[in-house]
Amino acid sequence: MGNQKASQDTIKRLFVYYRTIEESYSSNVISSEELAKLTGFPATLIRKDLSFFGEFGTPGKGYYTEKLIPHLKKILGLDRDWDVVLVGIGNLGKALLTYPKFKMHGFRINLLFDSDPDKIGKTCAGLKINDIAAIKEELAYFSNGNSKKIAILTVPAKVAQEVTNILVDAGIKAILNFAPTQLFVPQGIAVSNIDVSNEMARLTYNLNQDFLINVN
Amino acid sequence: MGNQKASQDTIKRLFVYYRTIEESYSSNVISSEELAKLTGFPATLIRKDLSFFGEFGTPGKGYYTEKLIPHLKKILGLDRDWDVVLVGIGNLGKALLTYPKFKMHGFRINLLFDSDPDKIGKTCAGLKINDIAAIKEELAYFSNGNSKKIAILTVPAKVAQEVTNILVDAGIKAILNFAPTQLFVPQGIAVSNIDVSNEMARLTYNLNQDFLINVN
């Protein structure tokens, strides 16, 4: 707790604990052993992860879900809604736009951008596709108390850095990057990369090994 | 080298090194400092990662790209083509089906499955959508020397485990899982999870912190 920093792997597991209890557990108390069975993570790791953020239960009995769930949501920033801009309205962008889990977790995609003149001005899932060149002006309207804005980037790799610079300049503070390239951002901007080819390569690497393991 | 195991984080970086050199570097020799500049990873980490797999250069000069690239491809299993089955032909599945980078890296999606009677028998990107119930028979035809088969899973979370059991039973050895749930597989099956909500939660966690960092 306090000033110590949780690892990104811990954060990923916290989300899994939260999602698992929320979706497939109904009792008031859950033990680390029960949560281990549901998630596949070792009970000792679960206890270590959760103790890092405070006390949510009684030793020997378990965690009180009514206490734990709101706390996990708060830690993860899921106790509020987030406005999200989507940049790049190709097949992947469109799939994410209608991804039901986003709305459920409070991620509301409500601004779309593209640079393709054939797409600009058209509508997708009820939202107008805006010109990326006008992102600063559009983002100025885009505020309902959220000072920190998130962008999902699904543009081709070769323009991703240029678009990232525009996003950062326009005040975006976090980027979920699907473009298969490394992004360079100033300090203070959070970037998370999802590269499906890289994940595939991890699998083929593992298929090439004698020892096969569950890689995530 | 040899019997030691590289971490999954190392494997992810190896892919980034490979992709970066292949796509944006043209000289015969690249130093760890140049690769650091292009990827954002520290030069010391790059040297450590690469030395784990052998000698690819001359100290003080750099790595020979003609030697390094084929080696990285071989380590990652990208020196050959892989047949891939796609299970779940929704919006995300369709986006992945036409994802150009897959073909480039040798991942060939050539069998489609769904359980929706409205989809079965229809065609998507030139491929017939098969009934998941017939996967064993279909996979029997599906062999061109590849003994290890990969599946991409883009089905709803609530059926993901059931479908996974079918896939494993049908001989699938690696699964790229987009379903937002934990999968349980027997030893010897590689699973890699891509959960976009979890990645978003990592960003919102980081936005909630005073210290903002590049999380991946």
Given its phi and psi angles, is residue A50 left (phi above 0), alpha (psi -120 to 50 degrees) or beta? alpha
- Residue B1 forms contact with A (CB below 8 Å): no
| Chain A residues near residue B39 by CB distance under 8 angstroms | 182
The pTM for the full model equals: 0.91
Low-confidence ranges of chain A (pLDDT < 70): 1-4, 142-147, 210-216
B16-63 pLDDT per residue, tens: 999 999 988 788 999 999 999 999 999 999 999 998 887 777 878 899
**Sign, CA torsion A40/A43/A49/A55:** positive
Considering only CA atoms, give the Rg of chain B: 20
Q: Which residues pair with B199 in a beta bridge?
A: none
Collapsed DSSP state (helix, strand, coil) of residue B26: coil
Mean pLDDT to the nearest integer, B197-204: 96
Q: How far is A61 from chain B (nearest CA, A)?
A: 24
pLDDT given for residue B147 in this prediction? 62
Q: Is the Cβ pair B150, A12 closer than 8 Å?
A: no
Check if the beta carbon of residue B197 is closer than 8 Å to that of residue A107: yes
Q: Is the Cβ pair B77, A213 closer than 8 Å?
A: no
- Chain A and chain B share a number of CB contacts under 8 A equal to 217
Check if the beta carbon of residue A167 is closer than 8 Å to that of residue A87: yes
- Taking Cα atoms as reference points, which of B4, B20, B9, B146 lies closest to residue B80? B146
B151-161 pLDDT per residue, tens: 999 999 999 99
A93-135 pLDDT per residue, tens: 999 999 989 999 999 999 999 999 999 999 999 999 999 999 8
Phi, psi of B17 (to 5 degrees): -60, -50
Mutate to test the interface with A, among B16, B109, B192, B203 (most CBs of A within 10 A): B203
Considering only residues 102 to 161 of chain B, which have any Cβ-Cβ distance to chain A shorter than 8 Å? 102, 104-105, 107, 148, 150, 157
Mean pLDDT to the nearest integer, B84-88: 96
Q: Which residues pair with A131 in a beta bridge?
A: A114
CA distance B119 to B130: 8
Higher pLDDT, B4 or B50: B50
Burial class (CB in 10 A: 0-12, 13-18, 19+), A139: buried
Candidate from A94, A102, A185 with C-beta closest to B91: A94
Q: Is the Cβ pair A207, B182 closer than 8 Å?
A: no
- Residue B100 forms contact with A (CB below 8 Å): no
User: What distance separates the 2 farthest-apart alpha carbons in chain A?
Assistant: 62
pLDDT given for residue A59 in this prediction? 79
Mutate to test the interface with A, among B17, B192, B210, B213 (most CBs of A within 10 A): B192
Q: Rounded mean pLDDT of chain B?
A: 89
CA distance B105 to A157: 15
Check if the beta carbon of residue B182 is closer than 8 Å to that of residue A20: yes
Q: Which of A31-40, A53-62, B67-76, B98-107 has the lowest mean pLDDT?
A: A53-62
Mutate to test the interface with B, among A91, A101, A168, A214 (most CBs of B within 10 A): A214
| Chain B residues near residue A201 by CB distance under 8 angstroms | 11, 15, 76-78, 105
Candidate from B98, B101, B203 with C-beta closest to A174: B203
Check if the beta carbon of residue B17 is closer than 8 Å to that of residue B46: yes
Alpha-helical (H) ranges within B25-132 are 32-39, 43-51, 65-76, 91-97, 100-105
Collapsed DSSP state (helix, strand, coil) of residue A168: helix
Q: Which pairing describes strands A107-114 and A82-87: parallel, antiparallel, or unpaired?
A: parallel
Instruction: Enter the tokens of residue A17.
Output: 């604990």
Q: Is the Cβ pair B75, A148 closer than 8 Å?
A: no
DSSP per residue over B106-175, as a string? TEEEEEEEE--TTTTT-EETTEEEEEGGGHHHHHHH--SS--SEEEEE-S-HHHHHHHHHHHHHTTEEEE
pLDDT given for residue B73 in this prediction? 95
Chain A residue nearest residue B81, CA to CA: A204
Mutate to test the interface with A, among B200, B206, B215 (most CBs of A within 10 A): B200
Q: Is the Cβ pair B11, A201 closer than 8 Å?
A: yes
User: Does residue B212 carry a pLDDT above 50?
Assistant: no
Candidate from B8, B95, B173 with C-beta closest to A215: B8
| Chain B residues near residue A90 by CB distance under 8 angstroms | 95
Collapsed DSSP state (helix, strand, coil) of residue A85: strand
